[in-house]
Structures are given as structure tokens and as C-alpha cells.
Amino acid sequence: MTSEAQDSERVVARLRPHGRALFWPSIVLIATVGAMGYFQGSFAADWQNIAVLAGGALIILLLWFLPLLAWLGKRYIITTRRIILRTGFFVRVRQELLHSRGYDVTVRKNGLQSMFGSGNVLINTGLDQPVVLRDVPNADLVQGALHDLMEKSLNPIAARRQAEASRQSDETTAWGTR
């Protein structure tokens, strides 16, 4: 196997928070469109009919479109070398965690998350706050995959030092001399 094949980074999983987060915004969208269709044209004054459309459009913008953008703006990418967390839609924040650094992975689930098989994956990197992959589908599978990737990933510097320490030296050491 060539070193280029060993060094290539492959995407293992691309994740977003569970789609369940869009349930209530979708209900609001359906109800708002239904109400707009029902009340449109039922008022005598044109400004009132326009107000129904404008109010419905504002509700759709605030309670459906913005949550959709927020959901689309969160992405977790797990590769063979690292975890990439991308948040934000207009202003992006990107955070990377290398598997070779080693970390602790914990899964937390509430009752609703347990029903749907999702959960919060907490990655403790030794910093003040753990990194949290919020409401990830198949959280237990993600935790197992992260453990396997950490196990396979070896810090190249530590591997080189370990190889140098285990290698026998041809030089003779004279004790007590400089």
C-alpha cells in the first residue's frame, strides 16, 4: 500500500441534526398557507386582502424559512482523519477535530430522541466545553464509528517517536562522559 493511499482522506458520513426539528415549522407553513387561502379575497377593502397576504408571508418567513435556513446551516462531516463542524448560513463557523488527538465520546438522549434513535454526541477534547453534535440521527452508530476512527488513527509524531525508541542503536554509550 502506498503512502498516498494511506494519507488519502475519505468522507465517512455527512450529518445534519434530525429532520424532526422541521416538524413544527412545517405545520406552521401548512396552517398559514391554508389560512391565507381561506381569508384571501374575503374582505371588502383591498388593503385588508393585501394585509392578509403580507401577514402570511411574514409568518412563513419568520416561522418556517428561518428555521429551515438554521437547520440547513448545521452540518457535521466525519472523515477518516477528522470531524468537521460547520454552522451558520451567511456567516460560517468551521471547527475541526483530529481523530489522532484522541477524545472522549458520550451520547446523551432524552425521551423523544430515544424514540427516534437520535441523540446528542458530546466530544470531550480536554478543553473547557465539550463539542456537541446536537440531535444527530443514529447517535449510537456515530459514537461507534468515532471510536473506530480514533482507534485506527495514530498520531504520526507519536508513531515516529515510538519507532525511534524501539529501534536498537548501533552506537556505544559511554556512561559518565559528555
Position 174 in a domain: no
Contacts for 28 with CB less than 8 Å, ≥ 6 apart:
59, 60, 63, 64
Domain count, the chain: 2
Strands (E), 88-162: 93-98, 104-108, 118-124, 131-137
Q: What pLDDT, in 10s, does the model give residues 29-66?
A: 999 999 999 999 999 999 999 999 999 999 999 999 99
Q: Are residues 84 and 137 in the same domain?
A: yes
Q: Are residues 67 and 98 in the same domain?
A: no
pTM: 0.75
Q: Are residues 49 and 97 in the same domain?
A: no
**Is the confidence at residue 70, as pLDDT, over 50?**
yes
Order the strands of the 104-108 sheet from edge to edge.
104-108, 118-124, 131-137
Q: Are residues 94 and 136 in the same domain?
A: yes
Q: Are residues 135 and 94 in the same domain?
A: yes
Q: Are residues 13 and 93 in the same domain?
A: yes
Q: Name the band, by pLDDT with cuts 50, 70 and 90, for residue 103.
A: confident
- Calculate mean pLDDT across residues 102-119: 93
pLDDT value of residue 128? 79
Range of the domain at 155: 9-17+76-164
Q: Are residues 86 and 157 in the same domain?
A: yes
